[in-house]
Structures are given as C-alpha cells and as structure tokens.
Amino acid sequence: MVAPDSNNPELELELELLPYLRVYKNGVVERLVGTRVTPPGLDSLTGVDSKDITIVPETGITARLYRPTAVEPPRKLPLVVYFHGGAFLITSSAEPIYHNNCLIPLAAATESVVLSVNYRLAPEHPLPAAYEDSWAALQWVAEQSKTSGDEAGQEPWLKQLVDFEKVFLLGDSAGGNIAHHMALRAQNSNLAGNFKIRGIALIQPYFWGEEPIGSETTEPEKKALVDSWWNFVCPSDRGNDDLLINPFADGSPSVEGLVGEKVVVIVAEKDILRDRGMLYYENLVKSHWKGKVDIFETEGEDHAFHLLDPTSEKAKRLVNRLALFVNED
C-alpha cells in the first residue's frame, strides 16, 4: 500500500487506531495485526485435526472445527463453541495465535470438539454484526443437534462425536463479551434442537464503562485507549455505557438471565480489563442466579498472555482450568 503521506488525497490517512488498523479517506482499511492465515489440518503433536466449514452461506459466516483424533465413536464429547478476541476488529480462527496457541491446545486439553466462529469484523461490518453472526452460529448448532441419519447439511464430526447435552460457550476478550450476550439471548429464545448449554467461560472478557474503576483510575492513558477502541466499533450516544459493552449499565438485562449451570471468569492481574472481569464475577455472585460461579486469576500477567506465550506454565494452568471447567460434573 502507498504510504499514508502520499500526495494522492484518496490515500491520505483518516484514522489510525493503534495497534489494530488504519483507515484511509477512500475507505480502505489496513489491518496492522491479526491477518495471518494458518491452514487447517492434523496437528501431529497433539493429534488434533481441524477443518473449515461454512455455517451461513448467505452471509459468509464460517467456522474452524477441531476434533481430537484419539477419541473415536461411539464415545461422545462436549462441544465448545469458541468466540475469538481482537476488539471486534481483527483476527480469525486461522490466525496462528488462535489456531496454534489456543484452539488446538484447548481441543486437546478438554478432549472436546471445538467450533471456533469467524464472525464478521468492524468497521466493514459494524456492530451488532459480530453478535448476529455468533447467534446464527448457535442456531446452526441447534439445527445440527436435532438432525438424524444422513440428512443434508449435517456436519459429520458433530454427528459422530458430539454430546449435545454438553455444550459450552467460551471466548476471550471481545469473544468473552460475545459469549456473555449469547448466554443471555439463549435463555430467552426458543432455540430448536436437543442441545443444552451447560456453562460459559469468559477469558479476560472485554467489558467496559464510562466511569473508571480500579486500575482504570490510575492508568488514564490506557483507559483513553480502550475508550477509543470501543467508540470506534460502536459509536452511540451512550458511549462506553452502551449495553453491549457495559453489562451493568442502566437498562442492561440482568445477569440472572444467563443460561447454563456454571460460569468461570478468568482474569490477569496486570490487564486493564481485570477490574471489569472482577466486577462481573462479584455481581453474578451477588445476584439470584442459581448456577456455580468461579474466578481464576493469573498473577503477574497482562491481557492475552496465554496467546502470546502458550508454552509458559501460567498459560498451561489457564488451559487446564478450562479443561476442568468443561469436564467437571
């Protein structure tokens, strides 16, 4: 791409949203990170196989599906529906930090089938597109759970391996935000099929608010940076108290409406989003929600550390905690 300071007015820089992207006056979006692609296939180290599937052809929603090859029918496995992070702006299941560092280890550790949803990204597809795509993915799973025999459109890996009574919603950062909203929507909707969402795991979830709390009060530059990210993907008159980003703003649906039997909130000590995750946990504990609520904190680490250094002992402990969450009774 021509440098932003080109004399061509169409290539002049209109907005730079670091560290994610640049937007030019002609509407071109240049993503600075999160654009790499790793092909699916068998991982010889873990024995996890993967493939790409299309969920909703009309809107182009795809997903990457993972299965541990050491497990064969008739044994049935949990299904983890995973929503990746990236501030609603970047990355996909094919990004190496997700494919190699997150999704393969997750499928191996949990011994589950993992469906990682590739929702459409802002700004080309403004919010609520990511939420609508994620909901369409859940509707697709519901349809899969009620099919039998060799019906058209049935995904073989799901038919052969998945116990639809054990479905879990997991997500990190923006994906944790999405998992929360999907769990609210699922409780209040009549999803067809014979499946059950057992729980949700929110990994360093992307929640925010207009008034600073915790470390946000002592790190105003970080607060302003996160403010700018959200205001870019979701410009609204409510700003950072929009109901999509602040689950406790006036008018937000009660967390008592979450579907499932258990929730784990995973935070990192140095993450600017930590205190919002802690607030979510504390409010859920205080609510009349009937399920089991846990918190898991990693000391001395920042946001997404487990994606950037997946071989560290702390990252392994995080993945093991997710495995316990999925497999404990």
Tokens of 128: 């609520």
Q: What is the pLDDT of residue 151?
A: 61
* Catalytic residue of the set 84, 99, 181, 303: 303
Answer yes or no: are the C-beta atoms of 271 and 281 closer than 8 Å.
Answer: no
* Catalytic residue of the set 93, 145, 173, 181: 173
Q: What is the pLDDT of residue 82?
A: 98
List, in order, residues 6 or more apart from 299 with CB less than 8 Å away.
269
| Distance (Å, whole) CA 6 – CA 240 | 35
Distances (CA, A) of 239 to 160, 229, 234, 317: 45, 11, 8, 36
Average pLDDT over residues 161-171: 97
Tokens of 53: 């599937």
Question: How high does pLDDT run on average in the chain?
Answer: 94
Determine whether 180 is an active site residue. no
Query: How does pLDDT run across 54-100, given as a tens digit for each residue?
Result: 999 999 999 999 999 998 889 999 999 999 999 999 999 999 999 99
Is pLDDT at 193 greater than 90 in this prediction?
no
Determine whether 271 is an active site residue. yes
| Distance (Å, whole) CA 206 – CA 34 | 17
Confidence of residue 9 (pLDDT cuts 50, 70, 90): low
Question: Could you tell me the pTM of the whole model?
Answer: 0.95
Q: What is the pLDDT of residue 329?
A: 79
Query: How does pLDDT run across 106-145, given as a tens digit for each residue?
Result: 999 999 999 999 999 999 999 999 999 999 999 999 999 9
| Distance (Å, whole) CA 171 – CA 205 | 8
Is pLDDT at 2 greater than 90 in this prediction?
no
Query: Hey, how many other C-beta atoms are within 10 angstroms of the C-beta on 252?
Result: 15
Outline where 155-219 has alpha helix (H): 156-161, 174-187
Is pLDDT at 227 greater than 90 in this prediction?
yes
* Catalytic residue of the set 99, 271, 275, 306: 271
Q: Among all chains, which residue has been given the structure tokens 């140095």?
A: 270
3-state secondary structure at position 326: helix
Is pLDDT at 215 greater than 50 in this prediction?
yes
